[in-house]
Structure 1
Amino acid sequence: MSTEYLPGSCNIGPQEIRSRQMVALFGAVITVITALTLISTDQSKSARLSIFLPAAIFSIGFIQSRSKFCLAYGLAGTFNLGKLGQVSKVASLQDRKADRKTAVLILLKSLALAAVITAVFYALPL
């Protein structure tokens, strides 16, 4: 596991990655609870679209942890490879641009994954 800042590639260390994994787990649990609630309370099919938000929470945490890259840090021009809360500024303009590009890509991937999860749940014949 890298413990070095790599522009557009790695801007968080092990503690921050663990934090993103916990967000993904929380999002997954909320997604399952939402799905079970919608199914068990016999809601309209359109109500199934409400699973998008918890699925997005899961997706954002999951993709950030797998990428070793925080999208918020990438957009802000910061990184943290140490203890939680020890944020450092990215010095180079070129590095900040690479980080922003990666952050936007992670956001788009996360929203796409949440959309797929939502579409599959919506399409289920329940």
Structure 2
Amino acid sequence: MEYQPGVCNIGPTQQRRRLLLGVGSLLAAVAYVAAVVALAWPRWALVLSVVPLYGAAMGALQYRERFCVGFAGMGVFDVGEGANEIENEEALAADRKKAVKLNAKAMAIGAAGTVAVFAAVTAFL
């Protein structure tokens, strides 16, 4: 695997970490929603599920895209040989542009998931 500015900045090991982040965040979202329902918390508390749902989306997107938003912000990449600093300004700009897009997608997915959770729980209660 090779580093490609604005396309790929992590290898298989880092991808697995992002997948675990996504799965863990999704499980946290499920546990949180279950707690809200089981403990009869106010329905507005379901809005806070956006945080773990955003994390789940971010983990899944980073895994799928082979791209770490945090690495882009720090100006590094790790495709398997350890972290390396990005010295080319154009490459750094391309990575940061991709990071902004992935972050926006994750926020949109997290928000849509929260709306779906709110609607589903409200319909069944």
Q: TM-score range by the shorter chain?
A: over 0.9
**Partner in structure 1 of residue 72 of structure 2:** 74
1:57 Cα deviation (Å)?
Answer: 1.3
Match of 2:103 in 1: 107
Choose from 28, 39, 44 the match for 1:46: 44
TM-score, structure 1 as length reference: 0.92
Please give the root-mean-square deviation of Cα atoms over the aligned residues, in Å.
Answer: 1.0
Separation in structure 1 between the aligned mates of residue 79 and residue 96 of structure 2, nearest angstrom = 18
Mean alpha-carbon deviation: is it higher for 116-125 or for 101-110?
116-125
Partner of 1:24: 22
Q: Which amino acid aligns with 1:113?
A: I
Structure-1 separation of matches of 2:117 and 2:22: 18
Unmatched tracts of structure 2, length 5 or more: none
The CA deviation at 1:107 is 0.7
Q: Which amino acid aligns with 2:107?
A: L
Structure 1 partner of 2:119 = 123
Deviations 1:5-58, CA, capped at 9 Å, x for gaps: 001000000000000001011001101111111111122111111111111111
Note the alpha carbon deviations across 1:46-73, whole angstroms, 9 max, x for none.
1111111111111111111011000011
CA distance in 1, matches of 2:52, 2:90: 34
**TM-score, normalized by length of structure 2?**
0.93
Find the aligned partners of 2:95 and 2:64 in 1 and give their Cα distance: 16
1:87 to 83, 86, 95: 83
Distance 2:19 2:78 in 1: 16
Which amino acid is the alignment partner of residue 52 of structure 2?
P
CA–CA separation in structure 2 for the residues paired with 1:93 and 1:120: 41
* Cα distance in structure 2, aligned partners of 1:89 and 1:50: 36
Identity %: 28
Q: How many aligned residue pairs are there?
A: 122
